[in-house]
Amino acid sequence: MSHLTLYRKWRPQNFAEVVSQVHITQTLAHALEESFISHAYLFAGPRGTGKTSVARILAKALNCEKGITSEPCNSCSFCNEITEGSFIDVLEIDAASNRGIDEIRSLREKVYFAPTRGRYKVYIIDEVHMLTQEAFNALLKMLEEPPPHSIFILATTEIHKVIPTIISRCQCFDFRRIPFKDMVNHLERICQLEGIEIDEPSLYMVVKHSQGSLRDALVFLDQLASYGKRKISLNEVTSLLGIASSELLAQVGEMIRERDITSLLSMVKRLHEEGKDLKRFIKDLIEYFHNLFLALEGGEPLLEDSQITQEAQKFKSFELIYFIEVLTDTLGEMKYSEDLKLLLEMAFVKITKPEGNISLEGILYRLGEVEKVLKDSKFIASGKTEEILEMETQKVSGEKRELKKISEKESEVVSFETPNELEEHKERKEKFLVDIGKVKRIWEVVLEKVKEKKIAVYALLLECQPVRVEDGKLFLEFNRQAQFHKNEVEKPTNLSVVEKIVEEVLGFPLAIECFIKEREDIPKVELEKELPQEAPLPNLVKLVIEDFEAEIVDEGDLREDMR
């Protein structure tokens, strides 16, 4: 007897056996019990989630010899024939290979004939989105005026390609990807019944590789069972399915943390020579960093592994986000390139040498760490020598930030005998902590955070720039045409937003002072000379009055306005 594949052998035969689609099966069961039967159904969702299986169960429930029921008996001749696909009144059509107008016209000619044996003629059209526009129009005519004995069940993985007029005439059901835990439990039960030996990590790998498709998971399991003679090990799973092992992913993570680009390039070369799928490897690596990110941020990792939690502590969130961004971009570039090895090598170079690719998250984190150190009370020294840390903040283009210790001259002794000396020391320390150069370097960060908080204030600040820090104040210089912007920024609510964000990013409070920039290109004396002393441009005023039938409402001094 020929072998029956697992996904066919374990196809659900009633609504109770369908995995993780209770919102659909319960609705259909209740409708059958109350005889609320629609003439058309549309099942949409990812592959391997039970669309065709539910369609067959519905067909059996409608034509079971025991009557319309929510629980088909699966023992009568009608149920058995529908299960085998030989029942004459249940027709399954693959729209991918029968997508033209002629096939749908032929169907329309036969749809009005009464059922031969059953109560209903059920038409299951799989991958309905593959139909042509003309075929859709012909199908629409049948759905508008269906005969009472005909029921259409449409299935698709891409509902956005189905025309809206078809969707509006169907009861739509959205099938969801099967959750990880539900699929693991289902496969464990099948393995026990089939006598397949598989450990938990291997089963997790199979489920992860199937990406929410139960049919794909059963196909992989069938393949592995044949390869390992019903005894499956983790090495067989990673080798046969081309999945990167957890040990390899952990090694890559350690190499990246140590910035060991030599070992990473050697590893890429080895994978390439072994014929490994580099796209699959990048996907596994993205998922690995995703798990670390979830573990670090208190989320629920896709794989429940204590080792994941330990490895996550070695990284910071912004680093993991950066890794995922680079690898995702590389995966997209691989669609248009033949040299996948080169792209992966470039990705690892970007990750391990991020000097030119520092993200905003990384800049903010480093800035915060430096400010915490500089604000530490330990740097108010007592004794012979005061050591202070100076941050060399570099441009956002990506150069490294470093902390350098600067020791005061040995002859200088910090000791505060009077309150005045203490105040002088605080002023020197504040001047060291905040200067206009530092403010200019972090000004882009301030603008971005203001944009997130209040975009209207962000737009106003685009018309100014910081010019100096003095007496605990940050002076913002506005263009001469930006008087309105200056006035709006100076409103207490807006000014408070800017001051709070400056303190948050800078780590030091500064009051905001706004002023209008003086013109530097024309001296004020020369400007006054250029202004006429008499009534300005009387001829022009007269011309405006004559041509536009205008009238003078008010008179002012143009010279004062021009100043």
Q: What is the CATH number of the domain that holds 201?
A: 1.10.8.60
User: Residue 125 pairs with which residues in a beta bridge?
Assistant: 93, 154
- Give the integer Cα–Cα distance in Å for 131 and 100: 6
Q: What is the mean pLDDT of the chain?
A: 79
Same domain, 106 and 57: yes
Residue 126, pLDDT > 60, answer: yes
Residue among 152, 200, 176 at smallest CA distance from 37 = 152
Q: Domain boundary at 433, 463, 483, which?
A: 433
Model pLDDT, residue 100: 84
pLDDT in tens, 338-348: 889 999 999 99
Cβ neighbors of 120 (< 8 A, separation 6 or more) are: 59, 62, 63, 89, 149, 150, 151
How far does the chain reach from its first CA to its final CA, in angstroms? Answer: 101
Grade residue 397 by pLDDT with cuts at 50, 70 and 90.
very low
pLDDT in tens, 315-344: 888 889 989 999 999 999 998 888 899 999
Q: Which single residue is written with the structure tokens 């971005």?
A: 448
CB 46 within 8 A of CB 262: no
Same domain, 35 and 137: yes
Same domain, 233 and 269: no
**Residue 491 in domain:** yes
**Residue 501 in domain:** yes
Same domain, 199 and 135: no
Question: How many C-beta neighbours within 10 Å does residue 53 have?
Answer: 22
CB 137 within 8 A of CB 144: no
Residue 2, pLDDT > 90, answer: no
Which residue has better confidence, 101 or 520?
Answer: 101
| DSSP β-ladder status, 387-392 and 231-232 | unpaired
DSSP one-letter code for 160: G
Residue 479, pLDDT > 70, answer: yes
The two structure tokens encoding residue 202: 């291997």
Q: Which domain holds residue 388?
A: 361-433
CB 134 within 8 A of CB 101: yes
CATH value at residue 491: 3.30.300.180
Residue 165, pLDDT > 80, answer: yes
Q: Domain boundary at 391, 409, 433, which?
A: 433
Same domain, 119 and 166: yes
Same domain, 151 and 255: no
Handedness of CA 436, 437, 440, 445 (dihedral sign): negative
Model pLDDT, residue 328: 92
**Residue 37 in domain:** yes
Residue 208, pLDDT > 90, answer: no
Same domain, 407 and 467: no
Cβ neighbors of 543 (< 8 A, separation 6 or more) are: none
Model pLDDT, residue 183: 92
Same domain, 237 and 218: yes
Same domain, 23 and 154: yes
User: Per residue in 460-480, is it b (16+ CB within 10 Å) or e — as a string?
Assistant: bbebbebeebeeeebbbbbee
pLDDT in tens, 22-47: 999 999 999 999 889 999 999 999 99
Cβ neighbors of 393 (< 8 A, separation 6 or more) are: 367, 370, 401, 438, 441, 442
Torsion angle (degrees, nearest 10) of CA 76, 77, 79, 80: 110
Burial of 513 (0-12, 13-18, 19+ CB in 10 A): middle
pLDDT in tens, 344-367: 999 999 888 765 555 554 565 556
Name residue 207's amino acid.
Answer: V
Q: Domain boundary at 357, 392, 410, which?
A: 357
Residue among 84, 81, 65 at smallest CA distance from 73 = 65
**Residue 394 in domain:** yes
Residue 128, pLDDT > 70, answer: yes
- For the chain, the domain total comes to 6
CATH value at residue 257: 1.20.272.10
Same domain, 341 and 258: yes
Same domain, 380 and 287: no
- Give the integer Cα–Cα distance in Å for 189 and 495: 64
Lowest mean pLDDT among 84-93, 189-198, 402-411, 445-454: 402-411
Model pLDDT, residue 420: 57
**Residue 1 in domain:** no
CB 346 within 8 A of CB 297: no
DSSP one-letter code for 54: H
Question: How many C-beta neighbours within 10 Å does residue 553 have?
Answer: 5
User: Residue 95 pairs with which residues in a beta bridge?
Assistant: none
**Residue 157 in domain:** yes
Q: Which pTM was predicted?
A: 0.60
Same domain, 294 and 147: no
Q: Which single residue is written with the structure tokens 């910081």?
A: 466
